[in-house]
Structures are given as structure tokens and as C-alpha cells.
Amino acid sequence: MIEFEGVHKRYAGGQNGLLDINFVIQRGEMVFVTGHSGAGKSTLIKLIALLEGTSRGQVRVDGQVLGSLRRSAAQQHRRTLGMVFQDYRLLHRQSIFDNVALPLRIAGWTQADIDKRVRAVLDLVGLGARAFDTPLMLSGGEQQRVGIARALAPRPALIIADEPTGNLDPKLATDIMQLFISLMQAGTTVVVASHDLHLIQRVKKRVLVLDKGRLIDDFRPEPAA
Amino acid sequence: MSMEPESDRGAVRIRAGGSFWQNLTQRHRDAAGKAWARLRQAPLSAAFGVLLIAFAWLLPLMVHWLERNLAGAAGDLAGSHGAHVFLKVEQDEAAATAIAERWRVAEADLETRVISRDEGLRELAELPGFRGIDAVVGDNPLPVVVSIDLADPARLEALLDDWRKDPAVDFVQSDARLKRKLRHVQEFVAAAAWVAWLLALAGALLISIHLSRLAVNADRDEISVSFWLGADDAHIRRPLLYGGMLQGFIGASLAAILVLALVAATHRALVEFSQQFASRIELLGPDPRTLLAVVVAAVVLGWLGAFVCTSVDLGQLGQTREDIE
Ligand SMILES: Nc1ncnc2c1ncn2[C@@H]1O[C@H](COP(=O)(O)OP(=O)(O)O)[C@@H](O)[C@H]1O
Ligand SMILES: [Mg+2]
């Protein structure tokens, strides 16, 4: 489903984001991307979401070479995935409900379907009661969950999440991981960038390890006994 | 927190149900609603924008109104020829007849008609603006007038110059000259109208571009996030187009209402003024078709301005490359 082939990413300022990255993620897999700060995790996520382009090499999603997509096809590509941003990217002037409804409005859902779906995903992340608050009335962890709800709302076949549990306490982090696992079990492909090694160890899914822009390991922990 | 229910799992469906028309009307309803919400979010700048547009249309509408009334006045004058020679008041009708006969004999093709004081008052009372004046004036203060008709305007001017020096003549009013003057004024006003329309068109367009740009800036967050979430250009553009049309509509309607109010006020003042002479003055209002055309043009230009703005600006905003951290 996701293929990186000889991918380099060099930012305009000369910083190396990624160096010669190669891997394949199958449809329905759940994969962690980990590494120290600055290792290139966010860069990798952004390349999949086409929020950045590669400097060299190819990123393919469902066989499509992302770098060759026209503007409208790139927009279409972003609509098919659910992106969780490291800094949430919520709209502070709009209600939680409207924030979560945004991708559904973009995708042209009817109001009735939007009402139903937004309530369902807000309940899913435990924020059903906060629908008509605005993001700044919420804690960091709650905002993060709104960001997750927004990514899940359009029922994407691919979820990419940049440090989705960065601001959650361990209990909530585990709950969110359980949520991702249940999505994965239902057929959704899930890519999670995280530096939380404890969490990654608990979940026991495939891990890509980045270091200074290079992919230095790609392993699957032994299943729990 | 709970697990995603069974029925919700793993669907690949991106677009929810609803017929083509349902989806279309929903998109447009959403966009119009957003445009309206944006206006209400910043009522002061919205009001300022609307006022700017209204002022842009006010000038040509006023000139148009002036033009229309001038055309009406010219129409009233169209039937008259030649000139009127007003004799001194001490000249009675017999003297006037003699003078007129002297002039007629001296010039081939010249036609004269002596207008008596009574006749003059009656004619005056027929004019718009002096209706009923004959009823209120006691002693007839009018002089005897000799009405002149001569086909050759150059010859007529020369004769009028002569007669001005005649001791029996008080003053000479050349209808041809009056008409010519009026035509000059009309031509000038027509040219001014062209300029005013062009200025209003350009102004309304530029204002709309500028207002759209302000709207883009005010909602930069939402627009960027929407792009990151995969919004297409049309989705971003639609509320801005509606916003442009909405402001154009309100602005032009406001201009139309202002002009109508102004005309009504002027008219009322003139009527009050003329009532003191027991007469009526009829002013023409602005042409309703012109008002309608202005509103339609303002809506189109509002749309166009937003379109131009988004064509230029959204290219950059659509650049999603941005540091996520
Ligand atoms: N927008 C950017 N412009 C320039 N350099 C960047 C940008 N984003 C990331 N980088 C650089 O790329 C490298 C990888 O960053 P990033 O992918 O954010 O790492 P991580 O998410 O693992 O912390 C870092 O050296 C960082 O400074
Ligand atoms: Mg990062």
C-alpha cells in the first residue's frame, strides 16, 4: 500500500530530513515509526500525506507515484487518508464539532450524516460531552483526541499519525492505541510516528527505526507470550 | 472511551450518501452560510466593505439621475423654435404689434406673433413648475412678448443682436441658444456618466478583490487546514465567491436605496418650494432598470473579484509544505 523507494528529503535550508529510505507497508498493517527527535519521523509522515515532496526517489501509495500527482489528484489523495498532526492543527474559532466535521464537509457529506458521524467519533475518543466547546477550552490531551477524531471521521483506509499520544497520559495513550488496533483489525492501514518506546513495546507491531534521516532498523517484536 | 463499533470499521468510503443534487445544494448552502458567517464574524470590516461598494455605485447613479432629468428637460424644449423678444413693460400690445410688423416686413421668411400679457400668463401657467400661477398672481406683471420664428439660425442670431439694441426691447431669449447650451450640458453629463460608470466598475472590482483578500487572510488558518485535509480549490473558493456576491449585492442595494432616498428628499424639497407658487414640479426618479442592472453588475463583479483573488492567492495557500513541528 505504501512504498518508499530510494527516498531522499532535503529541505530548502539544506537540512537532511530523510536519506535513502526504502520500505513497503502492506494494506491493513499497523506500523510504528520511531527514532530520536530530529530523526525524520515527521518528514516521513509528511511525505505520505503529500504535505512535502521528495527530493529524490519515489513514494507510492496504492501504486500512485505521489510526486507525479497533479494538484487536484494530490488533494484527492489527502482526502483518502486520515492525518493526525503532531500539533493538532485545530481551528480555535470553531467548535469541537465543527473541527471534526471539517473533513466531512470537504468530502461533501450531507448534514445528517455529518451529525451522526461526528457524534460517533467524539464518543469514540471520549469527548462526546465537549462537542460545543472550542479547542482552547480543552487540555492538550483533549485537543490531541479531537485531532484524532477528525482524522478518523471520514473513515479513511489509511491513517497516519504524528505523535498522536504525545500529550496523553499512559492510560489514555493505551486507549488510543487500542482504538488504532481495532481500526487496523477492521482493515485500516495505520502508520504512527512516536518516540514513546514503552508504548511501542506494549503494542508489539512492526517498527521502523530512523536515525539522523536513515532507516536503521525494521523489525517486528515477538508477539506477547 | 470505547472501541469503534463493528458497523463502523474499516470502511473505505470517503464520500457519504446523498444524491448528486442533495450534495450540490448542500455544498452551496454550506458555502453561502460560511460567507454570511464571515461577514458577521467581522461586522465592522464587513460594513466598511459594503459602504465602499455602495459609494462606488453612488456616483454613477447620481449622474445617471441627472442625465435622465436633463433629457426630460430637453424633451420639453424640443418643440420650441426661434426666440422670444421681451419688450419693456411700458410697451402695450398696439406698440408691440407695430414693432413686430416692422421686423416682419424687413426680413423675408420671418414669422412673428405677439403674445399678449394674458396669453403669456396662461402659457406660463402651462409650464411644469408654474402650474396654477395665473390663479395667484393678481396684477399681471408680464411684459408683451414677440415670438419669433426663422429657419436660418445664423440670420436669426444677427437679428437678435440688432434687436437687443432696440430701446423698446427689454431682453431677448433665444430658444436655439438655450437648447444648444442644454445640449452641451447633456453631452458633458453623458461623458461624465461614462467615466463614472467605468470608475464604479473598476472600483467595485478592485474593492471586491481586496475584500476577498481580507477574507482569505482572516481565515488563513481554516483555509490552510482545509487544504491539508484535502480540500479542493472549489471548496475553498466557493464561500469566497458567495462572500463577494453577497457584499456586492448589499453594497449596490444600499447605493440604490441611498439614491432613491436622496431623490425623494430632493423631490419633496422641490415640491414644497414650488407649492409656494401653487404649482408642481415633476422630477424623474432613477430608471428602475438601471438600478436593477447595477445590483446585478455588483453581484457579478463581487464574484469576479473573489475569483481573481482566489486565482492569485490560493495557488500559494494550496502550498501545503509547511513545517508540521
Ligand atoms: N520545514 C523544515 N525546514 C527545514 N528543515 C526541517 C524542516 N522540517 C524538518 N526539518 C529538519 O529535518 C530533520 C528531521 O526533522 P523531523 O522529520 O521533524 O524529525 P522528527 O519528527 O523525527 O523529530 C531535522 O533535522 C529537522 O531540523
Ligand atoms: Mg516530529
Residues B303 and B252 in one domain: yes
Interface touch A110/B17, C-beta < 8 Å: yes
Residue A224 lies in a domain: no
Contact list, A152 vs chain B (CB under 8 Å):
4
Please, where are the H alpha helices in B145-287? 153-164, 175-218, 220-228, 233-275
Q: Of the segments A3-7, A217-221, B285-289, which one has the largest average pLDDT value?
A: A3-7
- Is B216 inside any structural domain? yes
**Cβ(B291)–Cβ(B301) below 8 Å:** no
Q: pLDDT tens digits for B177-200?
A: 777 788 888 889 889 999 999 999
A198-205: long-range contacts, CB 8 A cutoff, minimum separation 24:
A198/A170, A199/A165, A199/A170, A199/A173, A199/A174, A200/A32, A200/A34, A202/A174, A202/A177, A203/A30, A203/A32, A203/A177, A205/A29, A205/A30, A205/A31, A205/A32
State the Cα–Cα distance between residues A168 and A151, nearest whole angstrom: 17
The domain containing residue B282 runs over which residues?
28-76+182-319
Residue A165 included in any domain: yes
Residues B46 and B143 in one domain: no
Contact A103 B229 (CB under 8 A): yes
Residue B45 lies in a domain: yes
Q: What is the grid cell recorded at A121? A: 467519533
| CB atoms near residue B129 (< 10 Å) | 14
- Rounded to an integer, the average pLDDT of A60-82 is 92
How many pairs of residues across A and B have Cβ atoms under 8 Å apart? 136
Q: Given this model, what pLDDT does residue B7 score?
A: 39
pLDDT, tens digit, for every residue of B121-131?
Answer: 887 777 666 66
- Which of A13-27, A188-202, B35-49, B97-111 shows the lowest mean pLDDT across its residues? B97-111
Task: Indicate the average pLDDT of chain A.
Answer: 92
Query: Is A55 domain-assigned?
Result: yes
Cβ–Cβ gap A108/B17 under 8 Å: no
Residue of A7, A9, A15 best suited for mutating to test ligand 1, as the one with most atoms within 8 Å of CB: A15
Q: Answer whether residue B175 is part of any domain.
A: no
Confidence check: pLDDT of B153 > 50: yes
Instruction: Tell which residue, A48, A43, A86, has the closest CA to residue A215.
Output: A43
State residue A212's pLDDT score: 93
Residue B32 lies in a domain: yes
Which amino acid residue places its CA nearest to atom 14 of ligand 1? A40
Instruction: Quote the pLDDT of residue A162.
Output: 94
Task: Give A207 Cα–ligand 1 centroid separation in angstroms.
Answer: 20
On whether both B70 and B112 belong to a single domain, the answer is: no
3-state class (DSSP) for residue A218: strand
Residue B161 neighbours by CB distance under 10 Å: 10
Residue B5 in any domain: the answer is: no
ipTM: 0.90
Cα A162 to ligand 2 centre (Å): 7
pLDDT of residue B2: 46
In a domain, B257, yes or no: yes
Residue B155 lies in a domain: no
Which of A156, A181, A203 is a domain's end point?
A: A156
Is pLDDT of B3 > 60? no
B324 and A42 within 8 Å at the Cβ level: the answer is yes
Q: What is the mean pLDDT of residues A18-31?
A: 95
Based on the fold, state whether residues A73 and A170 are members of the same structural domain: yes
| B153 or A32, higher pLDDT | A32
Which of chain A's residues have a Cβ under 8 Å away from the Cβ of B230?
A: 75-81, 103, 106-107
Chain B residues within an 8 Å CB radius of A109: 15-16, 18
pLDDT at B229 over 80: yes
Residues of chain B contacting A102 with CB distance shorter than 8 Å: 225-226, 229
Residues B207 and B291 in one domain: yes
Q: Is residue A225 part of a domain?
A: no
- My answer on whether B62 and B142 are in the same domain is no
Q: Answer whether residue A209 is part of any domain.
A: yes
Q: What is the pLDDT of residue A123?
A: 94
Give the contacts of B138 (CB within 8 A, at least 6 positions apart): none
Which of residues A131, A156, A181 is at a domain's end? Answer: A156
At residue B129, the pLDDT reads 64
Q: How confident is the model at residue B117 (pLDDT cuts 50, 70, 90)?
A: confident
Cβ contact B23–A53 (<8 Å): no
Q: For residue B78, what pLDDT is reported?
A: 63
Calculate how far, in angstroms, residue A56's C-alpha sits from the geometric centre of ligand 1: 17
Asked if residues B283 and B272 have their Cβ atoms less than 8 Å apart, the reply is no
Q: List chain B residues with CB under 8 Å of A94.
A: 222
Per the prediction, chain B carries an average pLDDT of: 82
| Nearest-neighbour CA in chain B from A92: distance (Å) | 9
- Same domain as A75, residue A3: yes
- Using one digit for the tens of pLDDT, what is the confidence trace for A95-110? 999 999 999 999 988 8
Which CATH number belongs to the domain containing residue A66 in this structure? 3.40.50.300
B82 vs A15 pLDDT, higher one: A15
Q: How many domains does chain B have?
A: 2
Q: What percent of chain B has pLDDT over 90?
A: 30
Between chains, do B1 and A179 touch, taking CB under 8 Å as contact? yes
| Per-residue model confidence (pLDDT) at position B320 | 53
Question: A76: closest CA among B319, B311, B229, B225?
Answer: B229
B138 with B93, same domain: the answer is: yes
Å from CA of B296 to ligand 1 middle: 51
Q: What percent of chain B has pLDDT over 70?
A: 83
Cβ neighbors of A97 (< 8 A, separation 6 or more) are A118, A122, A131, A132
CB atoms near residue A94 (< 10 Å): 18
Q: Which has more pLDDT, A39 or B320?
A: A39
Task: State mean pLDDT over A174-186.
Answer: 90
Q: Determine the straight-line distance between the first and last CA of chain B, rounded to whole angstroms.
A: 28
**B205 and B285 share a domain?**
yes
- pLDDT at residue B80, rounded to an integer: 60
Tell which atom from ligand 1 comes closest to the C-alpha of A86: 21
**A160 touches A50 (CB < 8 A):** no
Strands A158-162 and A81-84: parallel
Q: Is residue A23 part of a domain?
A: yes
Q: Are residues B199 and B293 in the same domain?
A: yes
pLDDT digits (tens, 9 = 90+) for B232-289: 889 999 999 999 999 999 999 999 999 999 988 888 887 777 666 655 566 788 889 9
Strands across the sheet containing A56-61: A16-25, A2-10, A56-61, A64-65
Residues B209 and B247 in one domain: yes
Pocket of ligand 1 (CB under 6 A): A 11, 13, 15, 17, 35, 37-43; B 323, 325
Tell whether A75 and A94 lie within a shared domain: no
Helix then strand count (H, E) for chain B reads: 10, 4
As for how many domains chain A has, the answer is 2
In angstroms, the separation between the Cα of residue B318 and the nearest Cα of chain A is 9
Q: Residue B238: what pLDDT?
A: 93
Cell 448542500 belongs to residue? B26
Asked whether residue A136 falls in the same domain as residue A183, the answer is no
Residue B262 identity: L
Residue pair B85/B146 in contact by the 8 Å Cβ criterion: yes
Secondary element (H or E) of residue B314: helix B288-317
User: Which member of A49, A71, A162 has the closest CB to residue B318?
Assistant: A71
Residues A183 and A205 in one domain: yes
* A23, amino acid identity: F
CA–centroid distance, residue A94 to ligand 2 (Å): 26
Whether B107 and B224 map to the same domain: the answer is: no
Owning domain of residue A116: 86-156
Whether residue A151 is found in the same domain as residue A124: yes
Q: Residues B100, B235: one domain? A: no
For position B13, what pLDDT does the model report? 42
Report the pLDDT averaged over residues A179-195. 93
Which has more confidence, B14 or A222? A222
Say yes or no: A71 and A168 in one domain. yes
Task: Give dist(CA A194, CA A170) in Å, integer.
Answer: 13
Place of cell 419669433: B148
